[in-house]
Structure 1
Amino acid sequence: MSGRALAHRIGIRPQSIHYLLDPARNAQGSRHTSAIARVLGVSGDWLASGKGRPYEKGERQADPQEVVASCLASAKQLVADLERLIRLLEGKG
């Protein structure tokens, strides 16, 4: 899942996800950690600390509905980005 798709699923700005993932920021967590963990299907404690196991009960199986939702969100974002690029190239941006 892309950072943008994850942000969309949680209802936050993609920049917030990028901030958390940037090693130079050394982010220590977020008030959104539990929501991020829920969407990713991992333990919130593991996500926050890196300790323990990421999955509570064995390996997580991909939820087909989540996969489709993620793909659709990514495709919509790609279309929007391409449309913005076309407007910029045409001088209408």
Structure 2
Amino acid sequence: MATKKKTAKKSVKKSAKKSPKKKASKKKPGLYANIHKAQERAKRGGKPVRKKGAKGAPTEKAFKKSEKTAKKPKKAAKKKSSAKKAGAKKK
């Protein structure tokens, strides 16, 4: 029975080590996500979106910072040749 208690403690320690990694990988929504949410609220009749240069609006510095962290667009998958599709339609 003494060995089972030791193994139980080890498994608890391992799971405790894994949990901080999961929290670290979760990111906050970015600047553009927040702008999109604000626009959606404005469409539903909420507060209007702040104009450029208004108090509390994102600055040029914030936009420059968000450009550095933006995701790169995914490459489109190659499509099959249209000849095969055209042949299938004729039959």
TM-score (norm 1): 0.29
TM-score (norm 2): 0.29
Higher RCO (CA < 8 A, seq sep 6+): 1
Pair member with larger Rg: 2
